[in-house]
Homo-oligomer: A and B are copies of this chain.
Amino acid sequence: MSVLVVGSVALDSVETPFGKADAVIGGSGTFFSASASHLAPVQLVGVVGDDYPLAQLDALKQRGVDMAGLEQAKGESFRWRGRYRHDLNSAETLETRLGVFSHFSPKIPAQFRSAPFVFLANIDPRLQLDVLRQVQRPKLVACDTMNFWIESRRPDIVELIKHVDLITLNDGEARQLTDCANLVKAARWIMERGPKMVIIKKGEHGAFLFKGRSIFFAPAYPLEEVFDPTGAGDSFAGGFMGYLARTGDLSDANLRRAVVYGSAMGSFAVEKFSVQRLLEITPADIATRVAEFRQLVAFEEELPA
């Protein structure tokens, strides 16, 4: 089954303790697509300016990402410039230029409207709601958001989450949205307002999946070299949604596996700049990393005394 993603397609300039990358392809839609396309067909909806190096998206096309929903508008592409310090935990945004993204109004191509899995990446919640009006009842709709929207468009987020099955957000955003310091309570607050499931991402500290009273936790893979954390969250979402779309199975057991696939894809994303590592990896690499995740948390039942 296919996954529809609506998100940003941007140009990132990133500085980490290990190097610099200038105007490389990035954005939530791009990372999500590069990740999910390992697992399922992806349909991307976004906008770029007339300065965008479209040829660099060819690698995504070759991976089966359908670009029919990628609009090219007159003007400058969305550009983000950021820096990570020594601990790599949080990006310092040096510059954001929205460009054509500031007038983005997602138009879902007719052939995308019946996508069974829909991911509303981090864009204005009013646009996320608008996308939902354009699609036919999908099997699963998930959305992401960020602090900026929680501050400026809170009522729209509260409206949006009535209509999604799952929301992904990081721990700080979950606390900010719900005003609960405790993540279990924050997840419950959200689930009382619509979503059946909440994924709270804690970066290098892993991710929780809350569903009703059940809680699943997957650690982040303890990499020796985290090169550039940009896009880890969207790559996580791509792995999660891609795995669900590949299997078409929304059972609890499969949702847990999907979180592990998300964590695996997030762990690849941070190994190189941009989507570079996501474009290199093979199905065998993914299978190996998933097996390593199992090893990381596996403990056997105690033998009866």
Report A's interface with B, CB cutoff 8 A: 86-88, 181-185, 202, 205-206, 208, 214-219, 222-226, 253, 256-257, 259-260, 294-302
Query: Which are the 8 A-B pairs with shortest beta-carbon distances?
Result: A205-B205, A256-B299, A297-B297, A217-B219, A184-B224, A217-B296, A184-B222, A253-B300
- Contacts A/B (CB < 8 Å), 6 sampled: A184-B222, A205-B205, A206-B219, A218-B299, A260-B299, A294-B301
CB distance from A173 to the nearest CB of B (A): 15
In the complex formed, the residue of B with least CB distance to A259 is: B299
Q: A205 to B208, Cβ gap below 8 A?
A: no
Q: A299 to B253, Cβ gap below 8 A?
A: yes
- The answer, among B183, B222, B223, B297, for a CB contact under 8 Å with A222, is B183
- Chain B residue numbers with a CB within 8 Å of A297 are 216-218, 297
Cα separation A299 to B214 with both chains bound (whole Å): 13
Cα separation A278 to B69 with both chains bound (whole Å): 58
In the complex formed, the residue of B with least CB distance to A258 is: B299
In the complex formed, the residue of B with least CB distance to A86 is: B181
